Amino acid sequence: MARDQIAATTMPAGPPTRLLKFHAPEIVFGIDSTAEAAHAAVRLGGLRPMLVTDPGLIEAGWVAELVGHLRDRHIEAQVWSALTPNPKDHEITAGHEFYRSHGCDVLIALGGGSVIDAAKGVAILAANGGDILDYAGVDKATAPIPPLVVLPSTSGSGADVSQFCIVTDTAHNTKITILGRALVPDISVIDPRLLTTMPEWLNAATGLDALTHGIEAFVSLGHNQLTDHHALRSVVMVTQNLVTTIERPQDMPPRVLMAQAALEAGLAFTNAILGAAHAMSHQVGGLLDLPHGVINGVLLPHVVRFNAEADPTPYATIATCLGIADMRAPELESALVLADRLQELARQVGAPRGLADLGVRDTDVPVLAQNALKDACLTTNPRPIDDAQLRALFRAAL
């Protein structure tokens, strides 16, 4: 479907009936834009920035490039990379100690969602103190955080524009969601070159994450005409380009489009919030320390089918925009076609057939469902869901 046709599907019939807000950082987008992060740090008053990253980004050479740009601006970065995927509560504590002991004043995050979430966690503690788990929920961190500049190295997390911070509670093997306007980065620098060194599995996982962000934002109870367009565009761009980036990883045009898809999905979900797929995925990720996007890829089709039973209309709109359903077809039929297409795409890029392949057991389901009920993302799922229904969904996805 052409761009103007997609826009037409989300054009409001009249003026908004409620007050709308749209949170977004300053965004710098384009090939070779990495140097802009150094300028951004200076503009934000940084003299001793803490650069949060991971060993893979160091090995790929991106950290050295950014450190060089900072030195050109007469700034010496303090590099911290002692974290793992799905950042843990104790890692956030260690990062905060590093920030404090080195007298840092600005945070720069170079990496994927885990790195950016870790930087946000350090920023929360730098301003508010305490333990990171104290801030689970909405707007619990009240003091302004230090300036934050982010450079995403994956095409999917949306953490570079979002008001979310996800941290693993290691004592309970679950993930907590920290949500607040203060967590939106000050400046997001998106250089599609950084995506070219992702391993294939991470490319697939983060692409499925962006896809889930777009779909859940479009159907969310919190959606509006400011988020719908971004959500739909991201879904179309992911479905059209994700497979190509895996088959031809150095081909830049699809990379640029995936970077844009991740950005637009992030802008959509940070303002519309998410739904059951994310509420469930957070629990599986916390239990087994697995890639978040892969879990989303498994769960999303099941959640689409569940939600569409109550209201298939937004899913039918997505299916029409993707060109896989006729707008004259029954809406539930189109929604189910969409669910099948999502399942097919996930398998095309290597996602497992079910949660059991990831190590989830039937005996895990009661705890997973109970924890999902507490997740903030569930509040904007378009269909109410209870413990029994969550258990049934988890089991359907096994």
Q: Quick one: 220 and 105 in the same domain?
A: no
Domain termination residue (choose one: 179, 195, 211): 195
**Residue 10 confidence class, pLDDT cut points 50, 70, 90:** very low
In a domain, 19, yes or no: no
pLDDT band at 19 (very low <50, low <70, confident <90, very high): confident
At 92, is the pLDDT very low, low, confident or very high (cuts 50, 70, 90)? very high
Compute the distance between CA of residue 111 and CA of residue 270 in angstroms, rounded to an integer: 19
Tell me, yes or no, whether 343 and 219 share the same domain: yes
Q: Report whether 89 contacts 117 (CB < 8 A).
A: no
Cβ burial of 19 (10 Å; 0-12, 13-18, 19+) is exposed
Does residue 295 share a domain with residue 186? no
Both 169 and 301 in one domain: the answer is no
Given 195, 221, 240, which residue is the final one in a domain?
195
Work out whether strand 187-190 and strand 49-52 pair parallel, antiparallel, or are unpaired.
Answer: unpaired
Q: Indicate whether 9 belongs to any domain.
A: no
What number is the average pLDDT over the span 26-37? 97
Statement: residue 8 has pLDDT above 80: no
How far apart CA 147 and CA 231 sit, in angstroms, is 27
pLDDT score, position 206: 96
| CATH code for the domain of 235 | 1.20.1090.10
Rg (CA), the chain: 20
Residues 191 and 336 in one domain: no
Given a cut of 70, whether residue 16 has pLDDT beyond it is no
* pLDDT value of position 105: 96
Residue 209 lies inside a defined structural domain of this protein: yes
Same domain, 179 and 216: no
Residue where a domain terminates, one of 169, 195, 221: 195
Question: Is residue 142 in a domain?
Answer: yes
Q: What is the pLDDT of residues 102-157, one digit of tens each?
A: 999 999 999 999 999 999 999 999 999 999 999 999 999 999 999 999 999 999 99
Please count the structural domains in the chain: 2
pLDDT digits (tens, 9 = 90+) for 231-259: 999 999 999 999 999 999 999 999 999 99
Residue 15 has pLDDT above 70, yes or no: no
Mean pLDDT, rounded, for 336-354: 97
**What pLDDT sits at residue 21?**
86
Residue 14 located in a structural domain? no
One domain for residues 143 and 211: no
Residue pair 90/133 in contact (Cβ under 8 Å)? The answer is: no
CA dist., res. 343 & res. 347, Å (int): 6
Domain of 322 in residue numbering reads as 198-396
Nearest to 50 by CA among 131, 150, 164: 150
Evaluate whether residue 12 is within a structural domain.
no
Question: Does any domain span residue 1?
Answer: no
- Runs of H (alpha helix) within 44-187: 55-60, 62-72, 89-101, 113-128
Nearest in space to 7 (alpha carbons), one of 199, 233, 294:
233
Q: Which residues pair with 26 in a beta bridge?
A: 187
What's 150's domain CATH number?
Answer: 3.40.50.1970
Q: Which helix (H) or strand (E) holds 152?
A: strand 148-152
Do 241 and 305 fall into the same domain? yes
Dihedral class, residue 30 (left if φ above 0, else alpha if ψ from -120 to 50, else beta): left
Q: Is 45 in the same domain as 133?
A: yes
Cα 17 to chain center, whole Å? 29
User: What average pLDDT does range 51-65 have in this prediction?
Assistant: 97
Do 128 and 165 have their domain in common?
A: yes
> Is residue 79 in a domain?
yes
pLDDT > 90? residue 6: no
C-beta of residue 184 within 8 angstroms of C-beta of residue 23: yes
User: Does residue 296 sit in the same domain as residue 328?
Assistant: yes
Same domain for 168 and 219?
no
